[in-house]
A and B are shown apart, each in its own frame.
Chain A
Amino acid sequence: MTATRDRNVTGTPFTRGLGVVTLAGIALLVVLGLFVSPADVTQGESVRIMYAHVPGAWLAYLAFVVTGISSAAYLWKRTRSLTWDRIAGASAEVGVLFMGISLVTGSLWGRITWGTFWTWDARLTTTAFLFVTYVGYLAVRGLGGSHHQRARRSAVLALLAVLEIPLVHFSVRLWNTLHQEASVAGRGTDVTMDGLMLFSLFLGVFVFTLMYVWLVLHRQRALALQDMLDDTGLDAALAARRAEAVA
């Protein structure tokens, strides 16, 4: 097998183009978010965090939805394919990344606007649970075994998570009404959005979506390479074993 000193392993013309557009979008977003867009009437400059926090949160949810759908696609016999499993895994990784970012930025934003890094409202708590659940999912993916064992285990786990998260959200909501906690309105709704702010927010969502697609494509291909490597490793080991038997 020839070793290829290849700088670009999982790229294709499409991803390269996508990457360039994404970088431009990020630059534009940062400029708009940090400098050009106006400060908020009530929240002041701290609203700028919104352009990084909100898109991150939305994309994290999207990522987990994709993981759920890919998991179901893997489990359904007619569409069973390890590609679905790898997409589920890649999407979950990116989802955990974005959700972590969202929790941190949200915490910082909350510190400025509400004075606390954390509150126990239903949305925030459920988000934290979603984060921990998918960290567990990623841990299970690393358990080993054949590719299909991994795929089956993870797919069932992902669908169980889809069942669990609404239950958690509902319970925490019920729990909060006990304490008559003033519904901590999403910080976003406190913001009176003018045109440029709205545009920046949508730009943020768009740019983060591009980032998500780019990341999942590359990560999914990297996983495919890893799986191929495992397979050839297995083949080589089997071949060696057979050679031994013959000798």
Chain B
Amino acid sequence: MDDLGFILGSYVVTFGSILLYVVSVVRRSRRAGRDIPHEQRPWT
């Protein structure tokens, strides 16, 4: 793997894994949020 590959790879790993994490959090909260109406959520 040449240098450029590592450099690009770093950025891809960084933002890619953050994106994956965001997707997983959003999915889990949508699943949990389905049964809890808006009024009960303390932040809305």
Residues of A within 8 A of B (CB): 1-7, 9-10, 12, 26, 30, 33-34, 44-46, 48-49, 52-53, 56, 93-94, 97, 100-101, 104-105, 108-109, 111-112, 211, 215, 218-219, 221-222, 224-226, 228-229, 232
Contacts and interface: CB of A to CB of B under 8 A. Distances in A.
Interface of B: 3-4, 6-11, 13-15, 17-18, 21-22, 25-26, 28-30, 32-38, 40-44
Nearest to A226: B32
A218 B14 CA distance: 19
Contact of A49 (B10, B22, B36, B40): B10
Given A6-B30, A10-B43, A12-B43, A112 B36 contact: no
A112 B5 CA distance: 11
B11 A33 contact: yes
A62 B37 CA distance: 34
Given A45-B4, A218-B25, A12 B44 contact: yes
9 contacts: A3-B34, A4-B33, A10-B33, A12-B44, A46-B3, A48-B10, A49-B7, A101-B14, A229-B32
Contact of B10 (A4, A53, A224, A232): A53
Contacts of A53: 10
A87 to B, nearest CB: 13
Contact of A104 (B8, B13, B26, B41): B13
Contacts of B26: 9-10, 218
Contacts of B7: 34, 45-46, 48-49, 108, 112
A225 B37 contact: no
Given A2-B37, A112-B3, A105 B14 contact: yes
Contact of A226 (B4, B6, B28, B44): B28
B17 to A, nearest CB: 6
Contacts of A229: 32, 35-36
B26 to A, nearest CB: 8
